[in-house]
Amino acid sequence: MRANRLLGIASESILKNKMRTLLTMLGIIIGVGAVIVMVAVGQGAKAQIQRQIDNLGTNLIVVTPGASAAGGVSQGAGTFVRLTIADADALKQQGTTLTGVSPMIVAPVQAVGGVGNWRTAVNGVTIDYFTIRNWTVTSGRVFDDTDVRGMRKVAVIGQTIARNLFPDQDPVGAELRLRNVPFQIIGVLAPKGQTATGSDQDDVILVPYTTAQTRLAGRQFIPQILVSTAQKQDIPAAEEEVRAILRETHKLASYENDDFTVRNQNDLAAAAQGTTEVMTLLLAAIASISLIVGGIGIMNIMLVSVTERTREIGIRLAIGARGSDVMAQFLVEAIVICLVGGVIGIGIGFAGAAVLHRTTGWGTTIAPTMVALALGFSAAVGIFFGFYPARKAARLDPIQALRYE
C-alpha cells in the first residue's frame, strides 16, 4: 500500500473521533512540552554558568599559597604564605606560554568619598590584570606602567562602588579616601555581574600593586597571582611551566611537595557544567515519564480502535489486503497521532520556556537538536506503543472478524 494512501486512511480515521484523538494526544503533548521546557532551563543554566566563568578572565590560571602543616596536622589551603612579588616577576620574565601575569594584593578598606562610605576590597594589580580579566572601562582610563612604577595614588572603581558613592554622576576625577589615603579615581570598570558563587565582581577598587603594597597592605607576601595564556589549549603547558618556575624560585627539592596551588577556570567550568548536565538529564528523565504515560494511553486507544473496527479489518482481509497492510495502517495511525502531538508539544514547550524566562528571569536555551530529538522521540513512542495493537489487528482471522458484532 502506498504511503500517501496509508496517510490518507490514517488521517480519515483520526479525524472521525476528534475529541478522543485530542485526549489521546494529551499525554504526548504534555510530555514533549515538559521535556522541552526542562531541557531549556538546564541548557540556559549551563550557558549562564559558562558566561559567569568566562567573565572571570581569558584563559585564566590562578596561583595561590599551598597548605602548611603544624605538628603533622594540615592547616588547609592558603596557609603556606610563600608567594611574593618576586614570584610574579619570575613568571613574567621566564614564562614562554604566558601572555599576562599579575600579582594581587588584597586589602579590605572603608572607602570614603562622594555621598558617604562603603566597605569593600582594594586589589593591588598590574596593568596585565585588565587583559587577563578582559576588563574594560566605561569612562576614564586604566592605570599604566608609569602609574605602577611611580606608586601613584590612582584608582579604577567598579560599578557597585560608583553607584553607591557617586550616584547619578561620573566619578572620574573625584577623590576617594582609602585608609585615610587620598586616591584619585581615573576610571570606572565595565559591569561584570555576579560570579557562579554569587559574589559581586563589581564591588571592587583596583589600584597599582606598588601603591597597595606601600600605602595600604604593607605585607611582603601576596595571596594570589593571576596568569593567562593566549589560547585555552595552552593552559596545561602553562600550568606545568608555572609549577616549574615557582619550584625553582622557592628552591624546592624534587622530593618536596609544592608550597603553592595552581588552578585554572576550565576545572571550575567542568565541575559546574557537569552538575548542570546531571540536573538537565534528571529533569528530562522526570518529564519523560509523561511521554511513557502518553504512549500507554495511545496503546490503549489503539486497542479499542482495533476492537471497534474488527469488521472493517475482516472486510479488508477478505478482499485481498495482506496482514502487513493492516499492520502498517494502524502503525501509521499511532505514529501520526504521536507526531502531531509532538509538534503541538514543541510549540507549548517554546511558549512555556518563554513564559518562564519572562516571569522568573531564568535563562532558557532551546537547541534545534533538542527539537529534532523530541520529534523523533514522539515518532519512536508511536512505533513502540502502536506496534502491539497493529500486530493484533494484522493477526485477526478474516472469518472471525466478519462475524464480529
Q: Crossing angle for the helix pair 265-308 and 323-360, nearest 10 degrees? A: 140
Look up cell 577556570; give the residue.
Answer: 265
Q: What is the pLDDT of residues 129-179, one digit of tens each?
A: 998 888 899 999 999 999 999 999 999 999 999 999 999 889 999 999 998
| pLDDT score for 154 | 95
Short-list 88, 97, 86, CA closest to 63 = 88
| pLDDT score for 70 | 41
Count of residues making up the chain: 405
SS (H, E, C) 303-332: HHHHHHCHHHHHHHHHCCCCHHHHHHHHHH
Predicted TM-score (pTM) of the model is: 0.61
The H or E element containing residue 74 is strand 73-74
Give the C-alpha separation, 158 to 139, whole Å: 11
pLDDT along the chain (405 residues), means of 10: 64 73 81 82 72 66 71 44 85 90 90 91 92 90 93 94 91 92 94 75 92 80 87 87 91 86 72 65 71 79 75 73 74 82 87 84 76 79 79 71 58
| pLDDT score for 219 | 66
Q: Crossing angle for the helix pair 18-56 and 3-16, nearest 10 degrees? A: 110
Give the C-alpha separation, 66 to 211, whole Å: 26
Give alpha helix (H) positions in 17-138. Answer: 18-56, 85-94, 128-132
Q: Where are the domains of the chain?
A: 3-52+270-403, 81-258
Q: Which triple of cell numbers denotes residue 216?
A: 595600604
- Pairing state of beta strands 181-189 and 154-157? parallel
Give the C-alpha separation, 185 to 141, whole Å: 9
Torsion of CA 263, 267, 269, 270, to 10 degrees: 180
